[in-house]
Amino acid sequence: MAPKEVVRSFFAQPAARGRLAALGHHIELPTFNLATTSLRHTRKWLDRLKEIEAGEIKEHGNFVSDPATLGLVHRGTKGVSLTPAGRAFLGLKDAIYDNSCRTEYELIKILYSGRFTLPSKVRTFLENKREHLLGFLSQCRPTPQRQLMFEDPRLLAIAEMLTGFEGALNIFFSLSETDLRHLANLGEGGFKTLFGEKEKPPGISRLCIKIGSDYTRAADRRRNMIFALTLLTLRQDLSRRGVRGARLEIPEPFCNLVGPSDLYEFHDRFTDDLTVAADQDGFVVVRRDTEDLPAPRIQTTTVEAMVRELRRGPVRLAGKGTVRRPTGQFFDLALAEEAERYLQDQVLKRKYGRNLQRIGHTDLEMVRLDDDMVPGADFLVRKGDGSIQEFIEVKSTRARFPSSIRLTRGEFSRIKKCLADDVPYSLYVVSFEDLSSTPRIAIVKDFAQIVEGVDLNSLLSLEIPIEQI
Protein backbone atom coordinates (compact mmCIF):
# COMPACT_ATOMS: atom_id res chain seq x y z
CA MET A 1 0.00 0.00 0.00
CA ALA A 2 1.27 3.49 -0.83
CA PRO A 3 2.31 5.56 2.22
CA LYS A 4 -0.41 8.07 1.45
CA GLU A 5 -3.13 5.45 1.71
CA VAL A 6 -1.51 3.90 4.77
CA VAL A 7 -1.71 7.22 6.63
CA ARG A 8 -5.27 7.81 5.44
CA SER A 9 -6.29 4.37 6.76
CA PHE A 10 -5.43 5.41 10.33
CA PHE A 11 -8.52 7.61 10.44
CA ALA A 12 -11.15 5.07 9.44
CA GLN A 13 -13.31 5.70 12.50
CA PRO A 14 -15.61 8.75 12.61
CA ALA A 15 -14.26 9.81 16.01
CA ALA A 16 -10.72 9.85 14.64
CA ARG A 17 -11.74 11.91 11.63
CA GLY A 18 -13.64 14.30 13.88
CA ARG A 19 -10.59 14.93 16.05
CA LEU A 20 -8.41 15.29 12.97
CA ALA A 21 -10.72 17.95 11.55
CA ALA A 22 -10.66 19.82 14.86
CA LEU A 23 -6.87 20.29 14.80
CA GLY A 24 -5.86 23.92 14.66
CA HIS A 25 -3.08 25.35 12.55
CA HIS A 26 -0.69 25.26 15.52
CA ILE A 27 -0.81 21.61 16.55
CA GLU A 28 0.33 20.60 20.03
CA LEU A 29 0.16 16.88 20.73
CA PRO A 30 1.18 15.34 24.09
CA THR A 31 4.54 13.57 24.15
CA PHE A 32 6.19 11.25 26.64
CA ASN A 33 9.90 11.77 26.00
CA LEU A 34 11.83 14.30 28.09
CA ALA A 35 13.50 16.11 25.20
CA THR A 36 13.02 19.89 25.16
CA THR A 37 13.55 22.66 22.62
CA SER A 38 17.27 23.11 23.23
CA LEU A 39 18.07 19.87 25.07
CA ARG A 40 17.02 17.08 22.78
CA HIS A 41 19.95 14.80 23.50
CA THR A 42 21.07 13.58 26.92
CA ARG A 43 24.67 14.80 26.56
CA LYS A 44 23.36 18.33 26.21
CA TRP A 45 21.54 18.04 29.54
CA LEU A 46 24.77 17.21 31.32
CA ASP A 47 26.70 19.89 29.46
CA ARG A 48 24.06 22.48 30.34
CA LEU A 49 24.13 21.59 34.03
CA LYS A 50 27.93 21.78 34.04
CA GLU A 51 27.80 25.28 32.54
CA ILE A 52 25.23 26.44 35.08
CA GLU A 53 27.27 24.98 37.93
CA ALA A 54 30.27 26.96 36.65
CA GLY A 55 28.21 30.15 36.41
CA GLU A 56 28.38 30.28 32.61
CA ILE A 57 24.80 31.40 32.01
CA LYS A 58 23.94 32.03 28.36
CA GLU A 59 21.35 34.56 27.23
CA HIS A 60 19.08 32.43 25.03
CA GLY A 61 15.61 31.95 26.47
CA ASN A 62 15.66 28.19 27.03
CA PHE A 63 19.07 28.01 28.67
CA VAL A 64 17.63 27.97 32.17
CA SER A 65 13.96 27.21 31.53
CA ASP A 66 14.56 23.80 29.91
CA PRO A 67 16.46 22.20 32.83
CA ALA A 68 14.17 24.04 35.25
CA THR A 69 11.22 22.27 33.61
CA LEU A 70 12.51 19.00 35.08
CA GLY A 71 13.44 20.48 38.44
CA LEU A 72 17.20 20.25 37.84
CA VAL A 73 17.79 24.00 38.03
CA HIS A 74 16.35 26.75 40.22
CA ARG A 75 16.21 30.44 39.41
CA GLY A 76 15.90 32.52 42.57
CA THR A 77 16.67 35.95 43.90
CA LYS A 78 20.32 34.91 44.32
CA GLY A 79 20.65 33.74 40.74
CA VAL A 80 20.60 30.39 38.98
CA SER A 81 21.76 27.23 40.75
CA LEU A 82 21.45 23.45 40.53
CA THR A 83 18.81 21.78 42.68
CA PRO A 84 19.69 18.65 44.71
CA ALA A 85 18.24 16.58 41.84
CA GLY A 86 20.39 18.50 39.36
CA ARG A 87 23.52 17.97 41.45
CA ALA A 88 22.79 14.26 41.75
CA PHE A 89 22.38 13.94 37.98
CA LEU A 90 25.49 15.97 37.17
CA GLY A 91 27.45 13.91 39.69
CA LEU A 92 26.99 10.90 37.38
CA LYS A 93 28.36 12.70 34.32
CA ASP A 94 31.69 10.87 34.07
CA ALA A 95 30.02 7.46 34.35
CA ILE A 96 27.13 7.96 31.92
CA TYR A 97 28.07 10.75 29.49
CA ASP A 98 28.93 8.47 26.57
CA ASN A 99 25.95 6.17 27.03
CA SER A 100 22.60 7.74 26.16
CA CYS A 101 20.66 4.72 27.45
CA ARG A 102 22.23 4.86 30.91
CA THR A 103 21.89 8.62 31.00
CA GLU A 104 18.16 8.33 30.32
CA TYR A 105 17.77 5.63 32.97
CA GLU A 106 19.58 7.63 35.65
CA LEU A 107 17.70 10.81 34.79
CA ILE A 108 14.33 9.07 35.06
CA LYS A 109 15.43 7.27 38.22
CA ILE A 110 16.25 10.61 39.85
CA LEU A 111 13.09 12.38 38.67
CA TYR A 112 10.59 9.64 39.49
CA SER A 113 12.18 8.12 42.61
CA GLY A 114 10.65 10.55 45.10
CA ARG A 115 14.11 11.07 46.66
CA PHE A 116 14.05 14.76 45.84
CA THR A 117 11.54 17.47 46.59
CA LEU A 118 10.39 18.91 43.26
CA PRO A 119 8.16 21.95 42.70
CA SER A 120 4.50 21.13 42.11
CA LYS A 121 4.71 22.43 38.53
CA VAL A 122 7.57 20.03 37.82
CA ARG A 123 5.76 17.09 39.44
CA THR A 124 2.70 17.81 37.30
CA PHE A 125 4.85 17.99 34.16
CA LEU A 126 6.53 14.66 34.93
CA GLU A 127 3.29 12.92 35.82
CA ASN A 128 1.72 14.13 32.58
CA LYS A 129 4.65 12.61 30.67
CA ARG A 130 4.28 9.31 32.47
CA GLU A 131 0.50 9.25 32.07
CA HIS A 132 0.82 9.89 28.34
CA LEU A 133 3.34 7.06 28.05
CA LEU A 134 1.04 4.66 29.89
CA GLY A 135 -1.88 5.75 27.71
CA PHE A 136 0.20 5.14 24.60
CA LEU A 137 1.37 1.72 25.81
CA SER A 138 -2.17 0.69 26.72
CA GLN A 139 -3.07 1.00 23.02
CA CYS A 140 -0.02 -0.86 21.71
CA ARG A 141 -0.25 -4.45 20.54
CA PRO A 142 2.38 -7.21 20.96
CA THR A 143 2.65 -7.96 17.24
CA PRO A 144 5.87 -9.19 15.58
CA GLN A 145 6.27 -5.74 14.04
CA ARG A 146 6.62 -4.13 17.48
CA GLN A 147 10.35 -4.92 17.51
CA LEU A 148 10.77 -2.60 14.55
CA MET A 149 9.92 0.23 16.97
CA PHE A 150 13.13 -0.47 18.87
CA GLU A 151 15.19 -0.97 15.73
CA ASP A 152 13.93 2.29 14.21
CA PRO A 153 12.49 4.52 16.97
CA ARG A 154 11.24 7.01 14.39
CA LEU A 155 8.26 4.67 14.22
CA LEU A 156 7.64 5.25 17.93
CA ALA A 157 7.44 8.97 17.24
CA ILE A 158 4.86 8.44 14.51
CA ALA A 159 2.86 6.06 16.70
CA GLU A 160 2.98 8.44 19.65
CA MET A 161 1.26 11.16 17.63
CA LEU A 162 -1.56 8.78 16.72
CA THR A 163 -2.45 8.01 20.35
CA GLY A 164 -5.34 10.45 20.59
CA PHE A 165 -7.07 9.28 17.42
CA GLU A 166 -9.47 6.43 18.11
CA GLY A 167 -8.48 3.18 16.41
CA ALA A 168 -5.39 4.65 14.75
CA LEU A 169 -2.79 2.76 16.77
CA ASN A 170 -4.61 -0.53 16.28
CA ILE A 171 -4.29 -0.07 12.53
CA PHE A 172 -0.69 1.12 12.85
CA PHE A 173 0.36 -2.06 14.65
CA SER A 174 -1.39 -4.18 12.03
CA LEU A 175 0.78 -2.82 9.22
CA SER A 176 3.30 -5.00 7.46
CA GLU A 177 7.01 -4.53 7.98
CA THR A 178 7.25 -3.10 4.45
CA ASP A 179 4.60 -0.45 5.10
CA LEU A 180 6.18 0.54 8.41
CA ARG A 181 9.61 0.94 6.86
CA HIS A 182 8.17 3.07 4.08
CA LEU A 183 6.65 5.37 6.68
CA ALA A 184 9.88 5.65 8.64
CA ASN A 185 11.84 6.48 5.50
CA LEU A 186 9.56 9.24 4.26
CA GLY A 187 11.64 11.88 5.97
CA GLU A 188 10.55 15.37 6.97
CA GLY A 189 10.00 16.48 3.39
CA GLY A 190 8.07 13.35 2.49
CA PHE A 191 5.61 13.78 5.36
CA LYS A 192 5.15 17.50 4.76
CA THR A 193 4.26 17.03 1.10
CA LEU A 194 2.29 13.79 1.48
CA PHE A 195 -1.10 15.55 1.41
CA GLY A 196 -2.29 18.81 -0.07
CA GLU A 197 -3.89 21.31 2.28
CA LYS A 198 -7.42 20.60 1.03
CA GLU A 199 -7.19 16.83 0.77
CA LYS A 200 -9.48 14.60 2.80
CA PRO A 201 -9.99 13.77 5.51
CA PRO A 202 -9.78 17.39 6.71
CA GLY A 203 -6.77 18.09 8.92
CA ILE A 204 -4.64 15.22 7.64
CA SER A 205 -2.23 17.58 5.90
CA ARG A 206 -1.62 19.58 9.09
CA LEU A 207 -1.01 16.42 11.11
CA CYS A 208 1.49 15.07 8.60
CA ILE A 209 3.38 18.37 8.63
CA LYS A 210 3.56 18.07 12.42
CA ILE A 211 4.81 14.48 12.20
CA GLY A 212 7.41 15.49 9.61
CA SER A 213 8.71 18.25 11.86
CA ASP A 214 9.15 16.05 14.93
CA TYR A 215 9.53 12.39 14.16
CA THR A 216 13.27 12.31 13.48
CA ARG A 217 14.26 14.61 16.36
CA ALA A 218 15.65 12.73 19.36
CA ALA A 219 13.58 9.70 18.36
CA ASP A 220 15.81 7.36 20.38
CA ARG A 221 14.75 9.09 23.60
CA ARG A 222 11.24 7.67 23.25
CA ARG A 223 12.64 4.16 23.05
CA ASN A 224 15.03 4.84 25.92
CA MET A 225 12.29 6.19 28.15
CA ILE A 226 10.12 3.13 27.54
CA PHE A 227 12.92 0.73 28.47
CA ALA A 228 14.08 2.86 31.41
CA LEU A 229 10.62 3.06 32.95
CA THR A 230 10.02 -0.66 32.34
CA LEU A 231 13.23 -1.56 34.17
CA LEU A 232 12.57 0.90 36.98
CA THR A 233 9.05 -0.49 37.43
CA LEU A 234 10.47 -4.01 37.72
CA ARG A 235 13.11 -2.78 40.16
CA GLN A 236 10.41 -1.12 42.26
CA ASP A 237 8.36 -4.31 42.24
CA LEU A 238 11.30 -6.33 43.57
CA SER A 239 11.86 -3.72 46.26
CA ARG A 240 8.19 -3.84 47.19
CA ARG A 241 8.25 -7.61 47.48
CA GLY A 242 11.56 -7.59 49.34
CA VAL A 243 13.16 -10.22 47.09
CA ARG A 244 16.44 -10.38 45.20
CA GLY A 245 15.01 -11.97 42.07
CA ALA A 246 11.86 -13.42 40.52
CA ARG A 247 10.51 -14.96 37.36
CA LEU A 248 10.16 -12.11 34.91
CA GLU A 249 6.63 -10.82 34.43
CA ILE A 250 6.53 -7.53 32.59
CA PRO A 251 3.65 -5.48 34.02
CA GLU A 252 0.88 -3.90 32.04
CA PRO A 253 0.84 -1.82 29.95
CA PHE A 254 4.61 -2.17 29.28
CA CYS A 255 4.10 -5.77 28.16
CA ASN A 256 2.03 -4.53 25.20
CA LEU A 257 5.25 -3.33 23.58
CA VAL A 258 8.22 -4.73 25.53
CA GLY A 259 8.75 -8.48 25.62
CA PRO A 260 11.06 -10.60 27.82
CA SER A 261 13.46 -11.10 24.90
CA ASP A 262 13.66 -7.33 24.44
CA LEU A 263 14.71 -6.82 28.07
CA TYR A 264 17.15 -9.71 27.77
CA GLU A 265 18.75 -7.99 24.79
CA PHE A 266 18.68 -4.37 25.94
CA HIS A 267 18.76 -4.25 29.76
CA ASP A 268 22.53 -4.00 30.23
CA ARG A 269 22.65 -0.94 28.00
CA PHE A 270 20.62 0.89 30.62
CA THR A 271 21.70 -0.25 34.08
CA ASP A 272 23.53 -2.63 36.36
CA ASP A 273 20.68 -2.39 38.89
CA LEU A 274 19.06 -5.41 37.27
CA THR A 275 20.31 -8.56 35.59
CA VAL A 276 18.05 -10.29 33.07
CA ALA A 277 18.99 -13.85 32.16
CA ALA A 278 17.50 -17.11 30.94
CA ASP A 279 17.15 -19.95 33.43
CA GLN A 280 17.30 -23.67 32.69
CA ASP A 281 13.62 -23.73 31.75
CA GLY A 282 14.08 -21.00 29.19
CA PHE A 283 12.33 -18.34 31.24
CA VAL A 284 13.84 -14.92 31.74
CA VAL A 285 14.50 -13.90 35.32
CA VAL A 286 15.33 -10.60 37.00
CA ARG A 287 17.71 -10.16 39.91
CA ARG A 288 18.71 -7.03 41.74
CA ASP A 289 22.44 -6.63 42.19
CA THR A 290 23.87 -6.90 45.70
CA GLU A 291 24.14 -3.16 46.30
CA ASP A 292 20.40 -2.89 45.80
CA LEU A 293 19.31 -5.51 48.31
CA PRO A 294 16.72 -4.48 50.90
CA ALA A 295 18.08 -2.69 53.95
CA PRO A 296 18.30 -4.91 57.05
CA ARG A 297 15.14 -5.05 59.08
CA ILE A 298 15.19 -3.12 62.33
CA GLN A 299 15.76 -5.52 65.18
CA THR A 300 13.46 -5.30 68.21
CA THR A 301 15.80 -6.76 70.79
CA THR A 302 14.76 -4.19 73.40
CA VAL A 303 11.02 -4.85 73.26
CA GLU A 304 10.85 -6.59 76.64
CA ALA A 305 12.74 -3.80 78.41
CA MET A 306 10.62 -1.21 76.63
CA VAL A 307 7.40 -2.89 77.74
CA ARG A 308 8.59 -3.04 81.37
CA GLU A 309 9.38 0.69 81.32
CA LEU A 310 6.05 1.57 79.76
CA ARG A 311 4.14 -0.47 82.34
CA ARG A 312 5.83 1.50 85.12
CA GLY A 313 4.80 4.82 83.60
CA PRO A 314 1.40 6.47 83.21
CA VAL A 315 0.87 5.22 79.66
CA ARG A 316 -2.64 5.37 78.22
CA LEU A 317 -2.94 3.54 74.91
CA ALA A 318 -6.16 5.06 73.60
CA GLY A 319 -8.24 2.90 75.91
CA LYS A 320 -6.72 -0.37 74.68
CA GLY A 321 -4.61 -0.89 77.80
CA THR A 322 -1.99 -3.16 76.22
CA VAL A 323 1.25 -2.86 74.31
CA ARG A 324 1.81 -5.38 71.53
CA ARG A 325 4.88 -6.55 69.72
CA PRO A 326 5.13 -5.23 66.17
CA THR A 327 4.95 -7.71 63.32
CA GLY A 328 8.27 -8.39 61.63
CA GLN A 329 6.86 -7.51 58.24
CA PHE A 330 6.13 -4.01 59.39
CA PHE A 331 9.79 -3.06 59.25
CA ASP A 332 10.23 -3.73 55.56
CA LEU A 333 12.07 -0.54 54.75
CA ALA A 334 11.78 -1.17 51.04
CA LEU A 335 8.12 -0.20 51.24
CA ALA A 336 8.64 3.04 53.14
CA GLU A 337 9.41 5.25 50.16
CA GLU A 338 6.55 3.87 48.10
CA ALA A 339 4.11 4.33 51.01
CA GLU A 340 5.13 7.98 51.29
CA ARG A 341 4.70 8.54 47.57
CA TYR A 342 1.32 6.80 47.48
CA LEU A 343 -0.06 8.79 50.41
CA GLN A 344 1.37 11.98 48.97
CA ASP A 345 -0.23 11.50 45.55
CA GLN A 346 -3.55 10.02 46.65
CA VAL A 347 -4.31 11.92 49.88
CA LEU A 348 -1.96 14.64 51.04
CA LYS A 349 -1.34 16.51 47.78
CA ARG A 350 -5.07 16.79 47.17
CA LYS A 351 -5.69 17.98 50.71
CA TYR A 352 -2.80 20.41 51.20
CA GLY A 353 -1.61 21.33 47.70
CA ARG A 354 1.49 23.48 47.59
CA ASN A 355 1.62 23.77 51.37
CA LEU A 356 2.84 20.17 51.58
CA GLN A 357 6.61 19.56 51.88
CA ARG A 358 8.09 16.10 51.69
CA ILE A 359 10.88 15.28 54.15
CA GLY A 360 11.12 11.48 54.14
CA HIS A 361 13.69 9.95 51.76
CA THR A 362 15.11 13.38 50.88
CA ASP A 363 18.18 15.35 51.94
CA LEU A 364 15.97 17.24 54.39
CA GLU A 365 15.60 14.36 56.86
CA MET A 366 18.56 15.48 58.99
CA VAL A 367 18.28 19.23 58.41
CA ARG A 368 17.27 20.89 61.67
CA LEU A 369 14.23 23.15 61.78
CA ASP A 370 14.05 26.53 63.49
CA ASP A 371 13.58 24.80 66.86
CA ASP A 372 16.98 23.07 66.40
CA MET A 373 15.32 19.64 66.14
CA VAL A 374 15.30 17.36 63.11
CA PRO A 375 11.81 17.09 61.54
CA GLY A 376 10.98 13.67 62.99
CA ALA A 377 8.22 13.21 60.38
CA ASP A 378 7.90 12.40 56.68
CA PHE A 379 5.90 15.50 55.70
CA LEU A 380 5.43 19.07 56.85
CA VAL A 381 2.39 21.21 56.11
CA ARG A 382 3.28 24.90 56.12
CA LYS A 383 1.06 27.93 56.49
CA GLY A 384 1.19 30.89 54.14
CA ASP A 385 3.74 32.64 56.35
CA GLY A 386 6.06 29.62 56.28
CA SER A 387 5.34 28.43 59.83
CA ILE A 388 4.49 24.77 60.34
CA GLN A 389 0.81 23.86 60.50
CA GLU A 390 1.13 20.07 60.91
CA PHE A 391 3.60 17.16 60.98
CA ILE A 392 2.72 13.91 59.19
CA GLU A 393 4.43 10.54 59.63
CA VAL A 394 3.89 7.58 57.26
CA LYS A 395 4.42 3.90 58.07
CA SER A 396 4.14 0.95 55.70
CA THR A 397 3.16 -2.67 56.24
CA ARG A 398 2.53 -5.88 54.35
CA ALA A 399 -0.01 -7.05 56.88
CA ARG A 400 -3.65 -6.24 56.27
CA PHE A 401 -3.30 -4.00 59.28
CA PRO A 402 -0.81 -4.72 62.07
CA SER A 403 -2.15 -4.51 65.59
CA SER A 404 0.44 -1.87 66.43
CA ILE A 405 3.18 0.25 64.93
CA ARG A 406 6.53 1.36 66.31
CA LEU A 407 7.79 4.92 66.68
CA THR A 408 11.46 5.75 66.85
CA ARG A 409 12.91 7.96 69.54
CA GLY A 410 13.31 10.81 67.04
CA GLU A 411 9.69 10.63 65.95
CA PHE A 412 8.53 10.47 69.54
CA SER A 413 10.62 13.54 70.42
CA ARG A 414 8.85 15.48 67.70
CA ILE A 415 5.45 14.30 68.88
CA LYS A 416 6.15 15.47 72.43
CA LYS A 417 7.30 18.83 71.06
CA CYS A 418 4.10 19.07 69.03
CA LEU A 419 2.06 18.39 72.18
CA ALA A 420 3.88 21.18 73.99
CA ASP A 421 3.42 23.61 71.09
CA ASP A 422 -0.16 22.50 70.27
CA VAL A 423 0.84 21.52 66.70
CA PRO A 424 -0.96 18.50 65.16
CA TYR A 425 1.09 15.36 64.41
CA SER A 426 -0.74 12.84 62.23
CA LEU A 427 0.22 9.20 61.70
CA TYR A 428 -0.85 7.20 58.63
CA VAL A 429 -0.23 3.52 57.88
CA VAL A 430 -0.24 2.29 54.27
CA SER A 431 -0.87 -1.45 53.82
CA PHE A 432 0.50 -3.36 50.81
CA GLU A 433 -1.04 -6.69 51.81
CA ASP A 434 -2.19 -7.42 48.26
CA LEU A 435 0.37 -6.05 45.82
CA SER A 436 -2.04 -6.36 42.90
CA SER A 437 -4.71 -4.13 44.44
CA THR A 438 -4.98 -0.59 45.76
CA PRO A 439 -3.11 -0.09 49.06
CA ARG A 440 -5.19 0.46 52.19
CA ILE A 441 -4.70 3.42 54.51
CA ALA A 442 -5.14 3.60 58.28
CA ILE A 443 -4.71 6.48 60.70
CA VAL A 444 -4.03 6.60 64.43
CA LYS A 445 -6.81 8.37 66.31
CA ASP A 446 -6.52 10.37 69.55
CA PHE A 447 -2.79 10.55 69.07
CA ALA A 448 -2.11 13.05 71.86
CA GLN A 449 -3.82 10.79 74.41
CA ILE A 450 -1.60 7.86 73.39
CA VAL A 451 1.72 9.53 74.10
CA GLU A 452 0.75 12.00 76.80
CA GLY A 453 2.61 11.28 80.02
CA VAL A 454 5.21 8.87 78.61
CA ASP A 455 8.72 9.58 79.89
CA LEU A 456 11.03 10.15 76.91
CA ASN A 457 14.17 9.34 78.93
CA SER A 458 12.99 5.79 79.57
CA LEU A 459 11.57 5.26 76.10
CA LEU A 460 13.32 3.11 73.51
CA SER A 461 10.30 2.74 71.24
CA LEU A 462 6.55 2.98 71.54
CA GLU A 463 3.93 0.67 70.03
CA ILE A 464 0.59 2.25 69.25
CA PRO A 465 -2.74 0.57 68.35
CA ILE A 466 -4.25 1.66 65.05
CA GLU A 467 -7.70 1.63 63.49
CA GLN A 468 -8.65 1.38 59.83
CA ILE A 469 -10.26 4.33 58.05
Residue 215: what residue type?
Y
Question: Rounded distance, CA 96 to CA 90, Å?
Answer: 10
Residue 265: what residue type?
E
Low-confidence ranges of the chain (pLDDT < 70): 240, 242-244, 278-285, 287-335, 400-405, 433-438, 445-469
- Domain architecture of the chain: domains with CATH: 3-214 (no CATH), 233-292 (no CATH), 303-468 (3.40.1350)
3-state secondary structure of 387: coil
- Cβ distance 336 to 360 under 8 Å? yes
Tens-place pLDDT, residues 246-283:
778 888 899 999 988 898 889 999 998 888 876 656 56
The reported pTM is 0.63
Per-residue b or e along 112-132, where b marks 16 or more CB atoms closer than 10 Å to that residue's CB: bebbbbbeeebbebbeebeeb
Residues near 13 by Cβ (< 8 Å), separated by ≥ 6?
A: 166, 167
Question: Rounded distance, CA 103 to CA 262, Å?
Answer: 19
Angle at CA of residue 257, ends 190 and 129, nearest 5°: 75
Helical spans, DSSP H, in 242-352 = 260-270, 303-312, 336-343, 349-352
Tens-place pLDDT, residues 371-430:
999 899 999 999 988 899 999 999 887 776 666 667 777 788 888 888 888 898 888 888
Question: Rounded distance, CA 279 to CA 247, Å?
Answer: 9
* Residue 462: DSSP 8-state: E
Question: Rounded distance, CA 427 to CA 328, Å?
Answer: 19
- Cβ distance 309 to 321 under 8 Å? no
Question: Rounded distance, CA 282 to CA 278, Å?
Answer: 5
Tens-place pLDDT, residues 65-83:
999 999 999 988 888 999 9
3-state secondary structure of 87: helix
